[in-house]
């Protein structure tokens, strides 16, 4: 008996699945990555090596990942959610045991010639598990306190492991992304208020557990001029670069702060500063508009999904992308402490790019299979 005879919609034909891929979003993502190539080319002083060429090659591979993921039925991701999460947790544990140390943190694993950052994988793993969990609950169940405990454990376990590395920025992203998914799932507001009060009360204890450089970053955020040649150097140079860019920038390859190496981490955390110095406020707003367009499409996909797993998955990916951009731009402009969060598809970095494109593939896949009927997940 066919699925149509049972009253269940048949999966769309392959040609229809190709048609349902949001090619506009793919084009915008490619434009963002193209801006990344331009910014990295400039950061290297007008050379494709060592960053721009690799960035372009990585994006080509990541684009293939996106298209493959988008064409896979969501029931596969429903089944793989827990295995992916468990795998990510094992990788995080491995980082703490045998991980590679760099720049004062132990965040990377060496797999042959490849270097991966498992904390980036954990972001998507948490989204998948939470989407699966709430797909199996009713709205009334999702609002109850006892049903909130398992998701809290799912979120806090990787947060704790990431904090050990230490990587405050990624831990914040996992926590904020998970909290956003709990909110859209229907968790009661009083639980969030209780969590905020508890977090505020825990701050004095958290301060004592923070590393010295993390304390300096917080103090520098509160008073950027307290150590302009030490902890405050990054943000001071970033503000100088952004301010000197003016409305339309100094011009391509004309950024002095980046080219003269006054700006640290110009190819990773501060790539937005590198770009804005040369292209000005107009260029920066244009780049942010492209990210905003991706988020608008993402929310539209979530609203059109006929299954709760797809809605939660799409909203989770949108939250992840939003916090990537919000935290990165906030820290390079001095609105947030410097916590080491890259700008997606623009900053140099292989794991982050693959993870972001994988997540965008999941998002587009929700649209491809928007009318699929999925079984209730068992927890």
- At 102 the pLDDT is 58
- At 324 the pLDDT is 94
**339: Cβ–Cβ under 8 A, 6 or more apart, which residues?**
168, 169, 172, 217, 327, 331
For the record, the structure tokens of 106 come out as 């132990």
- At 372 the pLDDT is 81
**187: Cβ–Cβ under 8 A, 6 or more apart, which residues?**
142, 143, 148
C-alpha 306/C-alpha 98 separation (Å) is 44
Paired strand residues for 102: 105
**19: Cβ–Cβ under 8 A, 6 or more apart, which residues?**
none
Paired strand residues for 110: 115
- At 214 the pLDDT is 65
- At 220 the pLDDT is 65
For the record, the structure tokens of 17 come out as 């699945």
C-alpha 271/C-alpha 265 separation (Å) is 8
For the record, the structure tokens of 74 come out as 């969501």
Helices (H), 210-307: 212-222, 233-245, 256-259, 271-304
**47: Cβ–Cβ under 8 A, 6 or more apart, which residues?**
41
- At 221 the pLDDT is 64
Burial 365-376 (b: 16+ CB within 10 A, else e): bbbbbbebebee
CA 372 from centroid of its chain's CA atoms: 26
C-alpha 352/C-alpha 350 separation (Å) is 6
- At 225 the pLDDT is 62
CA 94 from centroid of its chain's CA atoms: 22
Number of H helices, E strands in the chain: 15, 3
Whether the CB-CB separation of 41 and 341 falls below 8 Å is answered with: no
Q: Give the tens place of pLDDT for each residue, 259-298.
A: 667 677 788 888 999 999 999 999 999 999 999 999 999 9
- Residue pLDDT tens, the chain, 379 long: 344 444 456 677 778 889 889 999 999 999 999 999 999 999 888 899 889 999 999 999 999 999 999 999 999 999 999 999 999 999 998 887 776 665 556 677 877 777 888 889 999 999 999 999 999 888 889 889 899 999 999 999 999 898 887 788 888 899 999 999 999 998 888 888 888 888 777 777 666 666 666 676 666 666 666 666 666 677 888 888 888 888 988 888 887 776 667 677 788 888 999 999 999 999 999 999 999 999 999 999 999 999 999 999 999 999 999 999 999 999 888 888 888 789 999 998 888 999 999 999 999 999 999 888 887 755 5
3-class secondary structure, 101: strand
- Total Cβ atoms within 10 A of residue 356: 26
**Inter-axis angle of helices 308-332 and 118-135, nearest 10:** 140
- Cut 0.85: pTM above it: yes
Whether the CB-CB separation of 244 and 257 falls below 8 Å is answered with: yes
- At 3 the pLDDT is 46
């Amino acid at each position: 008996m066919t699925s149509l005879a049972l009253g269940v919609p048949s999966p769309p034909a392959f040609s229809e699945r190709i048609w349902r891929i949001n090619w506009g979003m793919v084009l915008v993502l490619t434009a963002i990555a193209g801006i990344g190539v331009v910014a990295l080319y400039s950061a290297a002083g007008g050379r494709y090596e060592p960053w721009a060429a690799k960035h372009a090659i990585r994006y080509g591979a990541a684009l293939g990942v996106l298209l493959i993921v988008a064409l896979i039925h969501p029931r596969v991701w429903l089944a793989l959610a827990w295995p992916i999460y468990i795998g990510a947790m094992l990788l995080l544990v491995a980082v703490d045991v045998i991980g590679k140390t760099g720049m004062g943190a132990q965040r990377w694993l060496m797999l042959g010639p490849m270097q991966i950052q498992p904390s980036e994988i954990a972001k998507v793993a948490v989204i998948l598990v939470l989407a699966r969990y709430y797909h199996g609950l009713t709205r009334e169940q999702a609002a109850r306190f006892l049903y909130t405990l398992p998701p809290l454990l799912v979120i806090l376990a990787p947060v704790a492991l990431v904090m050990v590395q230490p990587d405050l920025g990624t831990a914040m992203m996992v926590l904020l992304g998970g909290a956003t998914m709990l909110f859209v799932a229907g968790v009661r507001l009083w639980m969030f208020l209780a969590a905020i009060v508890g977090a505020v009360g825990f701050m004095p204890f958290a301060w004592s557990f923070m590393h010295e450089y993390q304390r300096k970053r917080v103090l520098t955020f509160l008073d950027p001029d307290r150590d302009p040649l030490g902890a405050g150097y990054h943000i001071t140079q970033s503000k100088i670069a952004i301010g000197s860019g003016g409305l339309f920038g100094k011009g391509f390859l004309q950024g002095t702060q980046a080219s003269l190496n006054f700006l640290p981490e110009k190819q990773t955390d501060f790539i937005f500063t590198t770009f804005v110095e040369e292209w000005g406020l107009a260029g920066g707003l244009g780049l942010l508009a492209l990210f905003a367009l991706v988020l608008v499409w993402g929310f539209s996909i979530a609203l059109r999904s006929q299954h709760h797993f797809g809605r939660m998955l799409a909203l989770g990916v949108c939250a992840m992308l939003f916090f990537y951009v919000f935290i990165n731009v906030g820290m390079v402009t001095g609105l947030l402490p410097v916590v080491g969060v890259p700008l997606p598809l623009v900053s140099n970095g292989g794991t982050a790019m693959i993870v972001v494109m994988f997540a965008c593939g999941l998002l587009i896949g929700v649209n491809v299979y928007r009318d699929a009927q999925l079984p209730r997940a068992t927890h």
